[in-house]
Amino acid sequence: MPESIVELVGARKVFTSPEGAEVKALDSIDMQVCRNEFLTLLGPSGCGKTTMLQSIGGFVRLDSGTISIDGVDVTQTPPHRRPVNTVFQSYALFPHMSVGQNVGYALEVRGVAQAERRRQVGEALAMVGLGGLEQRRPNQLSGGQQQRVALARAIVARPKLLLLDEPLSALDRNLRHSMQIELKTLQAELGISFVFVTHDQEEALTMSDRIAVLRDGRIQQIAPPRQIYDQPGNAFVAGFIGASNLFEGQIGDDVLALDDGEVLHLAGQSRDRSGRAIAIIRPEQFTLASATDERPTLEATVDQIIFVGAGFELYLRTKSGRRISVAAPASARDAVARAETLRQAHLAYDPLHLHLMPAEAEG
């Protein structure tokens, strides 16, 4: 594994709910953030991702466990003494200061000379595409520009680590997408490790070198985006990351016998495996096939077809009532039209692309 910049060992934090119950925000977590890595913390509300980020930043004190940054134990170190900067969801710009003054505030506090401060501020603003706007006030900027000012302020002193707490959530869809690309590019140029918090799966898949999926204060899986998507570690990850069709059954001789009587072919995946398992087939891994197709298929009745511009979303039911979703590209419009007319479809799949998870691994 590459050299780490952050290491959490046995990190534990418990809060008390208004009803008096204990809530484990972090449940003895071990995790490393690699040097120059873009790591995203992903999960539903209350899973612990923001608590982990704030613990690394020093804003939340662990109940037990340790946090090291660049080999130094900072578990008891206050936020302003850690080599870390944070970009919050609210940009928290000083309204009475100019853009240049906002970005250079931390440098001024450190006693950096005015000429050098001006140079570093100009360099940071140029990195985020705001060169020449030093004299403007925050209220003269768009939401996207304010976000870039907050980024410039965070990177101007070149911290070893940048923490980002859902910084794009207030932006509209198009601006958010462009900022995702710019953030990833900026991270690569700076060579600074980013730890990014989001609940948006698409955002995580777009930007990350690795994703840590959290649930109830525990890491369910930490891996590169493609592995998280194609080979989820358990049913929770499979259901949380993207759309999925999950099939639970008993492993047999190269088949998974489902509880409703259907059978999925496994193409050798059952070797050295037994017991119950969960298979995942993503909507785009199904193909609308003819009745004579030689590939393994599931027969289903069409409930609804939705045109989404780049293709079609189909919602179907098998004979037993199992619901299945299928994503068909625009090039399959003839097959989609046939399914819409007949209200029936044969859903072909490739057994080699079918991913198996132990049923007991859920949760």
What is the per-residue pLDDT across 3-18, written as a single tens digit (0 to 9) for each?
999 999 999 999 988 8
Domains observed in the chain: 4-235 (3.40.50.300), 244-361 (2.40.50.140)
What phi and psi, each to the nearest 5 degrees, are found at residue 119?
-65, -45
Residue 231, pLDDT > 60, answer: yes
> Which residue has better confidence, 270 or 72?
72
Token reading at 45? 């509300």
Average pLDDT over residues 177-198: 87
Please list, residue by residue across 351-362, b when 16 or more beta carbons sit within 10 angstroms of its beta carbon and e when fewer do: beebbbbebebb
pLDDT attached to residue 358: 83
Do the Cβ atoms of 163 and 57 come closer than 8 Å? yes
**What is the Cα–Cα distance from 344 to 348, expressed in whole angstroms?**
13
Task: List the end-to-end C-alpha distance of the chain, in Å, as a whole number.
Answer: 26
What is the per-residue pLDDT across 74-116, written as a single tens digit (0 to 9) for each?
999 999 899 999 888 777 788 899 999 899 988 888 888 989 9
Of 59, 64, 81, 4, which is closest to residue 29 (Cα–Cα)? 64
Token reading at 258? 């489902």
Question: 87: which strand partners?
Answer: 164
Give, in order, the Cα–Cα distances in Å from 289 to each of 88, 173, 292, 306.
48, 35, 8, 19
**H or E, element range at 328:** strand 323-329
**What is the Cα–Cα distance from 61 to 23, expressed in whole angstroms?**
15
Of 190, 197, 181, which is closest to residue 159 (Cα–Cα)? 190
Helix, strand, or coil (residue 182): helix
Q: Classify residue 260 as left (phi > 0), alpha (psi -120 to 50) or beta.
A: alpha
**H or E, element range at 192:** none
**What is the Cα–Cα distance from 153 to 162, expressed in whole angstroms?**
11
What is the per-residue pLDDT across 159-168, written as a single tens digit (0 to 9) for each?
889 999 887 7
**Residue 195 burial by Cβ neighbours in a 10 Å radius (0-12, 13-18, 19+):** buried
Do the Cβ atoms of 166 and 190 come closer than 8 Å? no
Average pLDDT over residues 182-189: 86
Other beta carbons within 10 angstroms of residue 166's beta carbon come to: 19
DSSP codes of every residue in 135-168: T--GGGS-HHHHHHHHHHHHHTT--SEEEEESTT
Of 15, 7, 8, which is closest to residue 63 (Cα–Cα)? 15
DSSP codes of every residue in 77-94: --GGGSSEEEE-SS----
pLDDT attached to residue 40: 96
Helix, strand, or coil (residue 127): helix
Residue 362, pLDDT > 60, answer: no
Tell me what percent of the chain is helix, strand and coil, each rounded to the nearest 5. 30, 35, 35
Residue whose pair of structure tokens reads 């204990």 in the numeric block: 22
pLDDT attached to residue 363: 42
